[in-house]
Amino acid sequence: MRANKRILVSTIAARSGGVPVMTGFAVDTLRALGFEPVIAYYEPYSQSPMLSVPTLALGRRRPGAVAGEPMFGCETHAMGAWLPEFEFTTYGLTPQWRELIASCAHHVAVSGNVLAARPLVLAGKKPLAWIATDWHGDRVNRVQTFSALRRVFDRCFVDPLTSRVERKLLQSVHPLALSQHTATQLQRLGGQPDMPICPTPIDTSVFTPAPELVQPGHIVFSGRLDDPRKNVSLFVDAVVALHRRGLSVRATLMGGGIKEKLLERIVREDERSLFTVIPFAEKQALVQILRSADVFAVPSHQEGLCISALEAMACGAPVVSTRCGGPEEFVIPGETGDLVGFEGDAMADSIARILNDRALRDAWSQRSISLVRERYSQRFATDRFVDAFRAANLKALA
């Protein structure tokens, strides 16, 4: 492979969730264009403390880098940072980043927020940055779990400094928003007014409906169970409320590790028999569970898009979602599901309506399948991504 075909993809270290799916799609698309993707990401201090240099270690060592876990068959680099406690510094231009950037002719960032583009910008590049959400939206619920002292530090230092960096970065990249919700949030921060949008595509050759597998009363959630943004306790509230109303329901929660307090609550209320928790499901198992769903629920505080809901819709499940951003584009009340507030009873009311009206459920199911095929197909997303990449790299495809 010629050196000028190496393309660096700056992303995050997550092994599950929406960003790895975005990254995999970007890698596949770039490969199809004839490029050789190389992946790099900041390795969290909590995972590899010796790679980074916090305040207390200044003067004693320098940031490092190691070969990262293989991702999508790519050469992969896990990068350390100076002062990781400040967050925006996690994507500083260390010598390791500088050398890697110089070894690649082209550069893109694919991440939850724009910070992953920072080393590329500091190196004088203006990369395409495919962004899922704004920085605050990506972390607001996580901040609430911080200790009191850390919240003070965050409010006084991390928040103002990182917000300033985010605004500058949005002026220094070619932004590509994951959804209209994302574009709106980024525009409020100073992003360009006509920001292009590229959703993560859904593989509708894999996520397909199987009406004979639908289990009445089966309510499904899929997402990182330990992510505060996902608001999993609301899902539990709704399922418990439905059970106490006398409806025959059961629930499946898939993804990550469930928080201990929430698990204790389920056990304490003696509702454990209602819930099945699956930490990880291979794709085919995931598809089978989604095909069996009567309703899919999104209880989140915030979502840039919500790939799991689109996968469920492709399998024929209507969606009941909170008004949390991304899902408001495809959860159309009265057509593909319903949008509700952040109360367990409100979510339970909408789910009960679907469970009790099979004709309604079937109509919403068919519309859900059609909408995903029309607006979230592989071809649609590929065209959007390639157009944005071409605009950002006028000579790259010559």
Q: How confident is the model at residue 271 (pLDDT cuts 50, 70, 90)?
A: low
Whether 217 maps to a domain, the answer reads yes
Give me the residue label for tokens 């940072």.
81
382 shares its domain with 370: no
For residue 316, the domain's CATH number is: 3.40.50.2000
pLDDT band at 294 (very low <50, low <70, confident <90, very high): very high
107 near 120, Cβ under 8 Å?
yes
Say if 366 falls within a structural domain: yes
pLDDT band with cut points at 50, 70 and 90 for residue 395: low
Check pLDDT > 90 for residue 224.
no
Does residue 206 belong to any structural domain of this protein? no
Considering the domain architecture, whether residues 309 and 382 belong to the same structural domain is answered as: no
Residues 112 and 140 in one domain: yes
Asked whether 112 and 304 are in contact (CB, 8 A), the reply is yes
Q: What is the pLDDT of residue 216?
A: 97
The residue with greater pLDDT, 193 or 100, is 100
The reported pLDDT for the residue numbered 141 is 73
Q: Do residues 36 and 132 both lie within one domain?
A: yes
398 domain-assigned: no
Q: Would residue 58 count as lying in a domain?
A: yes
Within a domain: 397: no
Give the pTM: 0.87
Instruction: Determine whether 115 is exposed, middle or buried from the number of CB atoms within 10 Å of its CB (0-12, 13-18, 19+).
Output: buried
> Containing domain of residue 52, as a range?
3-201+378-392
Q: Same domain, yes or no, for 353 and 387?
A: no
Q: Which residues contact 71 (CB under 8 A, 6 or more apart)?
A: 20, 23, 27, 39
Residues 371 and 382 in one domain: no
Band of pLDDT at residue 143, cut at 50, 70 and 90: confident
- Residue 359 structure tokens: 């004709």
Does residue 397 surpass a pLDDT of 60?
no
Cβ atoms of residues 199 and 179 within 8 Å: yes
Q: Which residue has the higher pLDDT, 191 or 298?
A: 298
Place of tokens 């990550």: 256
Asked whether residue 124 falls in the same domain as residue 224, the answer is no
Question: Using an 8 Å Cβ cutoff, are 276 and 193 in contact?
Answer: no
Residue 236: its pLDDT value, please? 93
Give yes or no: residues 356 and 268 share one domain: yes
Same-domain check for residues 29 and 160: yes
- Answer left, alpha or beta for residue 334, where phi above 0 means left and psi between -120 and 50 means alpha: left
